[in-house]
Structure 1
Amino acid sequence: MEASNSRSFWNQFTGEIPGTVGYLTHLSYLSVILSFSMNGIYHSNNLGGPTPKILIKKLQRNTFLYNSSSTGICIVTSSPEVENYINSTVKVSDHHRWVVVVIIGVSCTFAASMMLLVHWYRSRFLYNSYGGYILELQIATSNFSPRNILGHGGFGVVYKGCLPNGMFVAVKRLKDPNFTGEVQFQTEVEMIGLALHRNLLRLYGFCMTSNERLLVYPYMPNGSVAERLRDTCRDKPSLDWTRRMRIAIGVARGLLYLHEQCNPKIIHRDVKAANILLDESFEAVVGDFGLAKLLDRRDSHVTTAVRGTLGHIAPEYLSTGQSSEKTDVFGFGILLLELITGQKTLDAGNGQVQKGMILDWVRTLHDEKRLEVLVDRDLKGCFDAQELEQAVELALLCTQSLPNLRPKMSDVLKVLESIVGQSGHAEDPQNATGPCEGRSCSFSRTYSDVEGSSFIIEAIELSGPR
């Protein structure tokens, strides 16, 4: 029987309430009234006897009111069974309520603790919009003393600093006078900070004020590739052939990560030996990535600077200001030639080649099968001829004038790994010592210098955003 509503008017009910009423699972409204209905309450009836327990669960408080029977539960007040059931339900509800309150309290406390922890972590060192911790960096660098300068570049000056905990850092003091807004700067810097890879220079943090922008990086004790290529000691080059090939692979891996694994992707725009640092294991670490975009003026219809180093800038970037992954591929090709020749792209080194014409010089030597002329004299003939030929061909492929003719960094990396793999060189850069390895040399630990600095080409009008 499926009854959902039951009304009985002007009846003289007596006796016990049948237990079967409790099995009416669809019963939601029951009115047994002598004279008038009062919201489904058993009112003014001669009902008596115990209320079936199964029915109690379906009844509300004060269900039995003003019944003439003096026996059982059908009296003026609610029944004990109903009261007991209600009381037990209230206790359970109260218990559940306290459990919910405790859970919510713990969750809120945990969330608040995490927010405070994140705020402390960011404000302690990584970020303080009011420059509260710039004093710490001023002390670390002896107030940006010239004695602590590690290098100059197109983006600013790099200082060596020592924090109170004894950790050495490199502090880049950006010099662009047209700073972006604080929110925009923070967004861009945090994007750079998300790029974590063995071959990318990790951003420790940053500080900014109305007239200062400071980026904090780990200090690289072995300096830059540019410094190492120029540093020799009697019978030994600072970087032997094997290490140079390992450096090329490390740079390719770092650029590949920026191009294909960062979202949004990051275009370096200034790949050169001065921006490649060496860690304690002589592993290549790509620095200064993301800074070109960070310091650009963002308005789409105003003059925008082309940032890069003469000789490393891809033709399409120089002429249109539009950069892409292929812009970095071009720069990598020039870097590979730097590793082979040990010379800057602005000077082929033999006095017979006009500055800035290194690509034409390399192509000529390649066609004439005289690639040994390219090799850094400091290597004193200690190189692999097969690797040399393949590396030069890869460099020429990367520096094609049309960007669509250049390979992707993923293809570049595969070729480099194949070249090194054929010769059986050790994977560990600490063990990558060539046949002419000799005693160690001392060198000046600077990251770059004025000669290798990036420059900015102004007044290139762009029709839209890059």
Structure 2
Amino acid sequence: MLSNYISIFQGIQRLKDFNIADEAGGVGKEVIKKFNASVTSGTLEIRFYWAGKGTTAIPLRGVYGPLISAISVNNPDYVPPPADSVISPPSGGGDISVGAVVGIVAGGVFIILLIFGVLWRRGLLGQQNTLDDDLKGVDLQTGKFSFRQLKDATNNFDKANKIGEGGFGSVYKGLLSDGTVIAVKQLSSKSKQGNREFVNEIGMISALQHPHLVKLHGCCIEGNQLLLVYEYMENNSLARALFGPEESQLKLDWPTRHKICVGIARGLAYLHEESRLKVVHRDIKGTNVLLDKNLTPKISDFGLAKLDEEDNTHISTRIAGTYGYMAPEYAMRGYLTDKADVYSFGILVLEIASGRNNTSYRSKEESFYLLDWAHLLKEQGNLMDLVDPRLGSDFNKEAMMRTINVALLCCNATSTIRPTMSSVVSMLEGRAAVQILVSDPNASNNEMDAMRKHFESTLGMNTSESQIQTASSQGPLTGSSTSVHDLYPVIPDST
């Protein structure tokens, strides 16, 4: 047992040749020594040195305890602060209040969440997994392009190649290495809604092939890059041809306009009745009808399309489309059938025949509705006044009257009275007589008035007239639940 040692406190020797056995006077007895030391640097230094004396062996087996069992450090002048006011760092640094600590922690958490939010919005975190999940189970009957291919085809998405700009992305003209001219629709992956419409469009249009449906060459999904590759349509959209800036408008004679009406009708008849997928497009309008070099119309943008289930009499769903083209029963009650497309087609035919946009807001007191005007002219027996003045008198009046009457039949407020699209094709081509309906104009007007009030309430038009004026100057008025990603958007000439 070592019994002799030297102790040093803060570099000062306090005991020398201290024999604890003699000091205690027996085994198992305590010896307490007290020393004063000044602590100036936050560290108390205590050293023990063996003096080289005592035994080096234990003669008998037994239980032996330590020579020093405890060291206690007390500051007689120290008064501790309240337990909940400060947190003292072990290094002896400055005290930090609890409020400051909470603020630091909260600030750190906020910064971390902000970083994650920015990464999420840029599509660098989590979005790809969501899109991959959405694509599971989708039969992609279309080609795939690499981002580098499309980047090269559009000259790194050069502004000079931009041919359209929509709320859901930009459209660029591109040239593939094999000489194929394409239209590249670059979509944003920032929203889940965008992802759903992207997946919906791929799934729908890749399974549908028809001369009057725009052809989808393929898609590109790399990281946060979502792109659709279409056939290039040389003459842009029908809306641009009719209502766009004067330099972009096309001189469409009556035979060409009639051919466009028949082509759109054939495309819809295929979607509703002939394809293996019975599809309701939900957003038939001029900006979603494209014209190729021969002015052949092709229906585009299937992001809002819905399958028309044969075992259901209708589809009750979230309302989506464009105000002015939506059927009353769908806009007000969510009652969706293929007859909703028939109504939209009727409005579009009236636009083609008259050369006027469906809705144009002129002032707070006066609004112009193409369908209202057509009904008024029909009641007055002056339906030919609806015809686009740009056509002059060089058109077949019988064919024009037949076409306008077919349009009005399609726009009937009662969905069951509207014809099927195959019947529309027959009537437009003169193979079937146009059904003349004697309906109650008041009932029709009441239905339409109710729909307008419904939309005005939904869109806040009755409380913000300036909102109407702004919307009209930027194109067709659309609500928050409408399609805003036209392939070739256009600003109509409301005059």
TM-score by structure 1 length? 0.56
| Structure 1 position 309 matched with structure 2 position 332 | no
Q: CA deviation at 1:251?
A: 0.4
Identity of aligned residues (%): 38
- Residues 191-206 of structure 1 mapped to structure 2, 5 A cutoff: 191-206=204-219
Match of 1:394 among 386, 400, 406: 406
Q: CA–CA distance in 2 between the matches of 1:450 and 1:169?
A: 30
Q: CA–CA distance in 1 between the matches of 2:305 and 2:395?
A: 35
Q: Could you say if the C-alpha distance between residues 267 and 210 of structure 1 is closer, same or farther in structure 2, counting changes exceeding 3 Å?
A: farther
Q: Secondary structure at the match of 2:284?
A: coil
Match of 2:480 among 450, 457, 461: 457
Q: Secondary structure at the match of 2:320?
A: strand
Q: Could you say if the C-alpha distance between residues 149 and 421 of structure 1 is closer, same or farther in structure 2, counting changes exceeding 3 Å?
A: farther
The code of the aligned residue for 2:144 comes to: Y
| Structure 1 position 370 matched with structure 2 position 370 | no
Structure 1 residue aligned with 2:161? 148
Q: CA deviation at 1:135?
A: 2.1
Deviations 1:290-346 (A, max 9, x none): 54459xxxxxxxx97533222111122222334321111011001100111111111
Q: Tell me, yes or no, if the aligned pair for 1:390 and 1:419 is still in contact at 8 Å.
A: no
Q: CA–CA distance in 1 between the matches of 2:222 and 2:366?
A: 45
Q: Tell me, yes or no, if the aligned pair for 2:200 and 2:303 is still in contact at 8 Å.
A: no
Q: Between 339-348 and 147-156, report the one with greater CA deviation.
A: 147-156
Q: Tell me, yes or no, if the aligned pair for 1:305 and 1:457 is still in contact at 8 Å.
A: no
Q: Secondary structure at the match of 1:173?
A: strand
| Structure 1 position 409 matched with structure 2 position 421 | yes
Q: Could you say if the C-alpha distance between residues 151 and 398 of structure 1 is closer, same or farther in structure 2, counting changes exceeding 3 Å?
A: same
Q: Tell me, yes or no, if the aligned pair for 1:313 and 1:327 is still in contact at 8 Å.
A: yes
- Residues 283-302 of structure 1 mapped to structure 2, 5 A cutoff: 283-293=296-306
Q: Secondary structure at the match of 2:373?
A: helix
Q: CA deviation at 1:417?
A: 1.0
Match of 2:392 among 361, 373, 380: 380
Match of 2:369 among 346, 357, 375: 357
Q: Secondary structure at the match of 1:306?
A: coil
| Structure 1 position 261 matched with structure 2 position 274 | yes
Q: Secondary structure at the match of 1:217?
A: strand
The code of the aligned residue for 1:142 comes to: N
Q: CA–CA distance in 2 between the matches of 1:266 and 1:249?
A: 19
Q: CA–CA distance in 2 between the matches of 1:310 and 1:316?
A: 13
Q: Secondary structure at the match of 2:375?
A: helix
Deviations 1:24-45 (A, max 9, x none): xxxxxxxxxxxxxxxxxxxxxx
Q: Secondary structure at the match of 2:430?
A: helix
Q: Tell me, yes or no, if the aligned pair for 1:267 and 1:289 is still in contact at 8 Å.
A: no
Q: Could you say if the C-alpha distance between residues 335 and 458 of structure 1 is closer, same or farther in structure 2, counting changes exceeding 3 Å?
A: closer
Q: Between 275-284 and 170-179, report the one with greater CA deviation.
A: 170-179
Q: CA deviation at 1:407?
A: 1.0
- Which residues of structure 1 form unaligned runs of 5+? 1-121, 295-302, 423-448, 460-466
Q: Secondary structure at the match of 2:413?
A: coil
Q: Secondary structure at the match of 1:307?
A: coil
RMSD: 3.8
Q: Tell me, yes or no, if the aligned pair for 2:174 and 2:183 is still in contact at 8 Å.
A: yes
Q: Could you say if the C-alpha distance between residues 189 and 356 of structure 1 is closer, same or farther in structure 2, counting changes exceeding 3 Å?
A: farther
Deviations 1:271-290 (A, max 9, x none): 11221111222211111135
Match of 1:340 among 353, 357, 363: 353
Q: CA–CA distance in 1 between the matches of 2:240 and 2:200?
A: 33
